[in-house]
Structure 1
Amino acid sequence: MKPTNPAPDGTASPASDHAVSSATFDQPGAAATQATHRNLILIRNFLGIIVVICAAALIFFAKEVILPFVLGVLIALTLSPLTRGLARHGVPPLISAGLLVLAVAATVAGGIYLLSGPVAEWIDEAPRMRAVLEQRLRAITSSLETVREASQRVEDIAASTEDSDVIKVAIDQPGIIASTALDIVTLATTAMVALVLALFLLASNDMFYLKIVQSFPSLTEKTRALQIVYSIERRISRYLLSVTLINAGLGVVVGCCMWIIGMPQPVVWGAIAFLFNFLPYIGSLAGVVLCAVVSLVTFSALSYAVLAPLAYLLATLIEGQFVTPVLLGRRLNLNAVAVFAAVVLWAWVWGVAGALMAVPLLVCLKSLCDHVPALSVLGTFLGDSSAPAARPAA
């Protein structure tokens, strides 16, 4: 820029006037651009919040539709490395997918058949078991009965002061047999839809991966999408297969301990330990409590009745503190608080099925956060403090 010289009469030259006017008009333009940029960021964040709220409402109210598809995708992600490995040895994906899905269905059906007899027997013996348990715990229940009677007196006094013309409406609830039958039908339908979807996904081999790659325009986005998909598949498969084998070993140990102690139906206790241990924290506690109740009803000596729940608790502690960390290593890298919160949240949303799928869904979210820079903060929060933070892919 050429320097401007003042006019002989002391006034500024026209070039100087133009520079001053340009600087004067550029400042409001820059401020307007920054304000527009901030407004766009606020609008984007607001739309993101709306999308999250709508997705949460859809997940909660469309449980019967979404749950089978999510379960089918998780089954397919777990078995896809096996299908791909068999394809390398000349086995067509359709045949390997059919065999794997049939194996899963046969295992689930066999487990249900194995547990149906003992569970039905426990239901028939429930009144007797309740009477025996109340007799064994009479010292504790007597104090609770006193509190209940006092509370009942307070309710009677409050009810006597109410207007006698008040109409009370009672809603008839379905019986336990009708509710159980409905739950069984719903569970069977969900499992069938999930297995059929998993069969289609496994039989298609890498077709959906190719569709994902074709959906992105640039090579960088295609690479990142494949990294995310393969990372989710690898983590889910390793986690679910490893946890299944660990829980099977735990079931064998618990069943042997119950057989040595003399608990009735030790095979059922092994199956209970296997199934309950898929629920982090909550499953082990529920198994110990159930074992304690049955042991108190079975054995007359209180000192001997404590052995069964102690053996169950010791087996789960060894599995949770030593076996699982050694075998899984740093494959999971999830915060314990995040795992517990996810289990509680999904149990509230989808019940027992949600609690079982909470950790696999959390693993999927962690894999997504590790490859998306915008979600790196959430990925750091979900990760274990002992593990280094994953660096998002560029």
Structure 2
Amino acid sequence: MKAEPTASGTGATGTPDPREDIRADTHLIRSLLIGIFILMAVYALYFGRAFFMPVILAFLLALTLTPIVRFLRQHGVPDALSATLLVLLSLIFVAGAGYLLSGPVIELINNASTIGMQLTERLAQLRQPFEKIMQISHQLEGLTQTSQEPDVQKVAVAQSGMLSSAAGNILSAGTGITIVFVLSLFLLASGTMFYEKIIQSFASLSEKKRALRVVYDVEREISHYLLTVTIINAGLGTVIGLGLWGLGMPNPMVWGAAAALLNFLPYVGALMTIILVTVIALISFDSISFALLAPTFVLLCDIVEGQFVTPLVVGRRLEINAVAIFIAIAFWSWLWGFVGALMAVPLLVVVKVFCDHFEGLSHVGNFLAAQHSLVVEEDTAEQNGKVRT
């Protein structure tokens, strides 16, 4: 009589089942291969950031503008025409904003040391616990200046290297911006051709239908999220800029643009904006109590946006838990710097939406989801179960 394996993985005679060892070895090899693939992908993204960064930015820009192209297509406007107009308008907006903001930003950078001295004077009463640290800093600064005074030629050589490095960075940034806008133009103008190519790679009709449903659902949800968040951030920056202008803050347009841009970094971006506005307000106004009105106004705007506007417009389903957001921002900022930090949350939403459409990756989507979203889904499932019974 043939021995049947027991629940513990052994036969009737107590000997180990070789099939269990094969399964364990297969699982171990699969886990090792996945780990190796992840490490190779991270290394590729790090060393190939000059290529991957503009390409991913182009896809995100195309997804952001896709709802507008789809709306214009329904009203008889060809995809190529609408895509060209939208990309040109985006390029003009970015170039115009960069030109208008470059002067005040450069002025702030050049006056950074003066701003620091003025802030130190305004907060002199809070400086006593840090006097020893400041003395050490001044001593180190004096030693650095003393060591650099006799070596004039060395400073000139370093300046030349800095200029060449800056020129190389400008050229690289220009190339990346060109790739972003040109590639996004081709993606938008291609219409549904990109999706058709994906569907054609499947054999059976059922697989084609499932792939078509998943592709369109993912594209629709992500594009709606990106466009909505972009509009909300632009509105937030406008409100903050106008409010700071009413309070008499210098360069309110800069702080409005900074608030709109940094708001793509949840929690971190709002905190950075409040700190920057607080520093400038303290050195710009004579009264400290009046100076604190500016950061208080920014804080109230961020609270209204984060707790009411975004959840109401975007919905709770696409919210990400705070731990995943901080990990993503830390990872992408280490990988690609400030640009990577700005893309961290949109990429995280892309991953979550994609995982939600596949049962094998649903546990990843559940990990990325906010806690209250899971509670809502569980309550909905329970209600549906009661209705069925």
Q: Same fold (TM over 0.5)?
A: yes
Q: Are 2:119 and 1:130 equivalent residues in the alignment? A: no
- 1:170-319 aligned at under 5 Å gives the runs 181-319=167-305
In 2 relative to 1, CA 145–187 (structure 1 residues): closer, same or farther, beyond 3 Å? farther
- 1:1-394 aligned at under 5 Å gives the runs 20=1, 31-149=17-135, 181-388=167-374
In 2 relative to 1, CA 336–226 (structure 1 residues): closer, same or farther, beyond 3 Å? farther
Task: Specify the code of the residue in structure 2 equivalent to 1:99.
Answer: L
What is the rounded CA distance, in whole Å, between the counterparts of 1:281 and 1:63 in structure 2? 26
- Identify the residue that residue 7 of structure 2 maps to in structure 1: none
Task: Specify the code of the residue in structure 2 equivalent to 1:284.
Answer: A
In 2 relative to 1, CA 215–40 (structure 1 residues): closer, same or farther, beyond 3 Å? same
Structure 2 residues not aligned, in runs of 5+ = 5-10, 141-156, 382-389
Paired positions, count: 356
What is the rounded CA distance, in whole Å, between the counterparts of 1:308 and 1:48 in structure 2? 50
Quote how far apart the aligned CAs of 1:64 are.
0.8
Q: How much is the aligned-residue C-alpha RMSD, in angstroms?
A: 3.0
Between structure 1 and structure 2, the one with the greater Rg is: 1
Contact 2:222 2:353 in 1 (8 A): no
Quote how far apart the aligned CAs of 1:89 are.
2.6
Could you tell me the TM-score, scaled by structure 2's length? 0.82
- Identify the residue that residue 7 of structure 1 maps to in structure 2: none
What is the rounded CA distance, in whole Å, between the counterparts of 1:152 and 1:115 in structure 2? 33
What is the rounded CA distance, in whole Å, between the counterparts of 2:64 and 2:242 in structure 1? 29
What is the rounded CA distance, in whole Å, between the counterparts of 1:173 and 1:117 in structure 2? 22
What is the rounded CA distance, in whole Å, between the counterparts of 1:295 and 1:80 in structure 2? 40
Quote how far apart the aligned CAs of 1:182 are.
4.5
Secondary structure at the counterpart of residue 205 of structure 1: coil
Task: Specify the code of the residue in structure 1 equivalent to 2:55.
Answer: F
Quote how far apart the aligned CAs of 1:101 are.
0.8
Could you tell me the TM-score, scaled by structure 1's length? 0.81
- Identify the residue that residue 384 of structure 2 maps to in structure 1: none
What is the rounded CA distance, in whole Å, between the counterparts of 1:333 and 1:123 in structure 2? 36
Contact 1:227 1:371 in 2 (8 A): no
Quote how far apart the aligned CAs of 1:340 are.
2.3
- Identify the residue that residue 146 of structure 2 maps to in structure 1: none
In 2 relative to 1, CA 172–139 (structure 1 residues): closer, same or farther, beyond 3 Å? farther
Structure 1 residues not aligned, in runs of 5+ = 1-19, 155-170
Question: Does 208-217 or 186-195 show the bigger shift?
Answer: 186-195
Contact 1:74 1:236 in 2 (8 A): no
Question: Does 64-73 or 233-242 show the bigger shift?
Answer: 233-242
Post-superposition CA distance 1:299-322 (Å, at most 9, x none): 122222111111111211221111
What is the rounded CA distance, in whole Å, between the counterparts of 2:275 and 2:3 in structure 1? 77
Contact 1:224 1:371 in 2 (8 A): no
Contact 1:232 1:363 in 2 (8 A): no
